[in-house]
C-alpha cells in the first residue's frame, strides 16, 4: 500500500512552485490587458477626430452649396451681407424701443420677500 500524504503537505510543496510559475503569467496578462486598453482608447480618440473632421468638411460643402445657389439666383454674397447688416441695425433699433423682459429664478425669489 502506497504511503498516504496529507493534502496540506502537497499544498506546502506546490504553492511556492505555483507562485514562481503563475506570477509571471499573471503579470504578463495584466500588462497585455493594459496595453490593449490603451490602444483601444487611442483608436477611439482617433475615430472621434475623424468624425469631427468629416462633419467640418460636410458643413463647408453645405455652405459652399448655399453660396453657389444664392449666386445662381441672381443674389450676390456682398448684397446679402449688406442686407444682413441693415437688418441687424433695424433689429437693434427695435430692441432699444421694446426691452425684453426675462423671468429668472433670482427675480422671482426677489418678489417673494
Q: What is the pTM of this model?
A: 0.44
* Owning domain of residue 54: 8-96
Sign of CA dihedral 65, 66, 67, 70: positive
Domain count of the chain? Answer: 1
Average pLDDT over residues 45-50: 95
Residue 102 is assigned to a structural domain of this protein: no
d(CA 83, CA 32): 62
Which residues, 6 or more positions from 67, have their beta carbon under 8 angstroms from its beta carbon? 77
Which residues, 6 or more positions from 80, have their beta carbon under 8 angstroms from its beta carbon? 70
Confidence of residue 113 (pLDDT cuts 50, 70, 90): very low
- How many other C-beta atoms lie within 10 A of the C-beta of residue 95? 10
Q: State pLDDT tens for residues 11-33.
A: 888 888 888 889 999 999 999 99
Residue 65 is assigned to a structural domain of this protein: yes
Amino acid at each position: 500500500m502506497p504511503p498516504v500524504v496529507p493534502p496540506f503537505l502537497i499544498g506546502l510543496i506546490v504553492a511556492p512552485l505555483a507562485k514562481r510559475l503563475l506570477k509571471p503569467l499573471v503579470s504578463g496578462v495584466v500588462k497585455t490587458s493594459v496595453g490593449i486598453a490603451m490602444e483601444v482608447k487611442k483608436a477611439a480618440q482617433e475615430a472621434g477626430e475623424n468624425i469631427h473632421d468629416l462633419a467640418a468638411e460636410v458643413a463647408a460643402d453645405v455652405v459652399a452649396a448655399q453660396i453657389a445657389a444664392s449666386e445662381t439666383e441672381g443674389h450676390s454674397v456682398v448684397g446679402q451681407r449688406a442686407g444682413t447688416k441693415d437688418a441687424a441695425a433695424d433689429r437693434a433699433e427695435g430692441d432699444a424701443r421694446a426691452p425684453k423682459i426675462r423671468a429668472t429664478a433670482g427675480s422671482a425669489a426677489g418678489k417673494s420677500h
